[in-house]
């Protein structure tokens, strides 16, 4: 039977756009209490208001840069005050979604830039480690609590120009697997949701704001939407407490493999 998310604390990193923003609305519709983090606080404000309209019992937001330990620690101590306030019925974090991340550039290794490499490792790998380390004390032995990391098909298949992003997401996959072993016996569930081609701000970030280049990635094909992933995240977190969805790989029907995408003719 489905486990209820009503009145449960759900923390989402990278909630200012794409999967994270859609997840805020989807968990909101389940009556959850949200803790939302990202660097763009103006965007978080809008997402929190939308989540409240969807039915969230509460939607709090705070600046978060997962690439900086001090920012992560400040964010989690802010979250702790809310979760463990005398008014809060549930005194623990029920769901942690490590979603913040993305790709920077599509250069080959020969032409790669240090700043891009460092940003990808910081957000996709070290960010998950930092947030998880800080948030774990808010997740005591709690049957049915979940940590869901966002990986990618890129963590399972390499492609040209994607060396560091693929390495980062392969790192995410192994971190998820190790964490599940480390939390053995606690009742906390650990899983990864690994999407393929999805239309969000992902390509806009990868191509540093070049909208035409970003749009071209999705030309003539039917990619996944942020809502598709949000629905899956809610499903994973609401399985009965004894069920762990270890690894979930999801691609659009038009994408049979990382580099093989069906495209209809467009004028």
Binding site for ligand NAP (CB under 6 A): 13-20, 38-40, 43, 64-67, 99-102, 123-124, 150, 152, 195, 197-198, 200-202, 205, 226
Asked if residue 233 lies in contact with residue 97, where contact means CB atoms within 8 angstroms, the answer is yes
Q: CA nearest 174: which of 201, 160, 198, 192?
A: 192
For the CB of residue 240, give the shortest distance to ligand NAP in the complex, in Å: 26
For the CB of residue 88, give the shortest distance to ligand NAP in the complex, in Å: 24
For the CB of residue 35, give the shortest distance to ligand NAP in the complex, in Å: 13
Measured CA to CA, the distance from residue 266 to residue 65 in angstroms comes to: 39
- Which of 165, 205, 214, 252 is catalytic? The answer is 165
For the CB of residue 102, give the shortest distance to ligand NAP in the complex, in Å: 5
Asked if residue 105 lies in contact with residue 98, where contact means CB atoms within 8 angstroms, the answer is no
Element (H, E) at 254: none
For the CB of residue 124, give the shortest distance to ligand NAP in the complex, in Å: 6
7/74 with CB nearer ligand NAP: 74
Question: Which tokens hold the place of 184?
Answer: 């053995």
Question: Which tokens hold the place of 220?
Answer: 């003539």
- Cα–Cα separations (whole angstroms), residue 204 to 20, 227, 261: 16, 18, 19
179/226 with CB nearer ligand NAP: 226
34/144 with CB nearer ligand NAP: 34
Residue 37, classed as helix, strand or coil, is strand
99/146 with CB nearer ligand NAP: 99
Residue nearest to ligand NAP (CB): 18
Which residues are within 8 A (CB) of 101 and not within 5 positions of it... i.e. 6 or more apart? 14, 66, 120, 123, 124, 127, 128, 150, 168, 172
Element (H, E) at 245: none
73/201 with CB nearer ligand NAP: 201
**165 an active-site residue?**
yes
Q: Which active-site residues does the annotation give?
A: 165
């Amino acid at each position: 039977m489905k486990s209820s998310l009503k009145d449960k604390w759900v923390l989402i990193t990278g909630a200012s756009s794409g999967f994270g923003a859609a997840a805020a609305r989807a968990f909101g519709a389940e009556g959850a209490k949200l803790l939302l983090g990202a660097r763009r606080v103006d965007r978080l404000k809008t997402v929190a208001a939308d989540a409240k309209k969807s039915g969230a019992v509460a939607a709090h937001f705070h600046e978060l840069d997962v690439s900086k330990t001090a920012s992560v620690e400040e964010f989690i101590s802010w979250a702790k005050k809310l979760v463990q306030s005398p008014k809060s019925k549930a005194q623990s974090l029920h769901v942690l979604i490590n979603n913040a991340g993305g790709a920077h550039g599509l250069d080959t290794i020969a032409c790669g830039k240090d700043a891009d490499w460092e940003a990808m490792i910081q957000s996709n790998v070290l960010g998950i480690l930092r947030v998880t380390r800080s948030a774990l004390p808010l997740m005591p032995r709690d049957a049915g609590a979940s940590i869901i990391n966002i990986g990618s098909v890129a963590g399972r298949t390499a492609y040209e120009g994607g060396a560091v992003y693929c390495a980062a997401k392969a790192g995410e996959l192994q971190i998820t697997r190790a964490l599940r072993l480390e939390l053995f016996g606690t009742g906390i569930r650990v899983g990864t949701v690994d999407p393929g081609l999805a239309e969000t701000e992902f390509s806009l970030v990868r191509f540093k704001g070049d909208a035409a280049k970003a749009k071209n990635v999705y030309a003539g094909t039917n990619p996944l939407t942020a809502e598709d992933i949000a629905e899956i995240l809610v499903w994973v977190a609401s399985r009965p407490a004894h069920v762990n969805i270890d690894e979930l790989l999801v691609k659009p029907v038009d994408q049979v493999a990382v580099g093989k995408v069906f495209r209809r003719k467009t004028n």
